[in-house]
């Protein structure tokens, strides 16, 4: 920041992109898959550039603001996200992740079966969550934002963020407990 607090003037918008694009991409890719994530991040930074006066006039940390824009961009992709979670719940194959190489098939078979069951269950729960609860939970879990940062990103009171996260976690916890029985 320059002495007057103008992050974009001092570092340039390119520096903002360089600092935060990867984190936004990870968040968006987890929500809508890698192909749509690139578009979502591009749209996020286009909107951010058009609204750069918000940062130039006092936003101390632009990352929650960028997550908020990305979350709004993803609203348009919500159907694809829910469809992906439903596919994962049905098949156990996560269409949003690139397959990872395994160490040893025999050694990891049991772990994979349990992980696939849990992944399907989690996807089913995520698909059924109301949009606000899903947004809050994923910003907390994937983007690792604090309550205050999530509140800033989604333009919600902190108490609303806390209650939405609590409700989402409760639903997820109950589903996992039912699986263990």
pLDDT digits (tens, 9 = 90+) for 19-35: 999 999 999 998 888 88
**pLDDT value at position 56?**
65
In this predicted structure, what is the pLDDT of residue 16?
Answer: 86
pLDDT of residue 95: 58
Q: Which of 158, 112, 143, 115 is nearest to 31 (CA)?
A: 143
| Residues lower than pLDDT 50 in the chain | 1-10, 98, 100-102, 107
pTM (two decimals) = 0.62
Contact by Cβ (8 Å): 58, 100? no
Token digits for 17? 């992109």
Burial class (CB in 10 A: 0-12, 13-18, 19+), 57: exposed
| pLDDT tens digits, 69-105 | 999 998 877 777 777 778 777 777 665 554 544 455 5
Tell me, letter by letter, the H, E, C secondary structure of 31-88.
HHCHHHHHHHHHHHHHHHHHCCHHHHCCCCCHHHHHHHHHHHHHHCCHHHHHHHHHHH
Domains of the chain with bracketed CATH: 1-76 (1.10.1740)
């Amino acid at each position: 920041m320059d002495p007057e607090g103008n992050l974009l003037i001092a570092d340039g918008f390119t520096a903002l992109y360089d600092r935060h694009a990867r984190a936004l991409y990870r968040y968006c890719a987890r929500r809508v898959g890698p192909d749509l994530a690139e578009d979502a991040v591009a749209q996020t930074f286009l909107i951010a550039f058009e609204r750069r006066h918000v940062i130039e006039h006092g936003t101390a940390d632009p990352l929650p603001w960028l997550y908020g824009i990305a979350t709004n961009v993803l609203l348009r992709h919500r159907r694809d996200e829910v469809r992906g979670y439903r596919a994962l719940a049905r098949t156990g194959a996560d269409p949003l992740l690139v397959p990872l190489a395994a160490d040893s098939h025999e050694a990891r078979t049991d772990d994979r079966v349990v992980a696939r069951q849990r992944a399907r269950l989690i996807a089913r729960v995520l698909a059924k969550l109301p949009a606000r609860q899903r947004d809050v939970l994923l910003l907390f879990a994937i983007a690792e934002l604090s309550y205050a940062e999530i509140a800033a990103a989604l333009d919600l009171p902190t108490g609303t963020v806390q209650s939405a996260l609590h409700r989402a976690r409760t639903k997820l916890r109950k589903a996992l407990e039912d699986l263990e029985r």
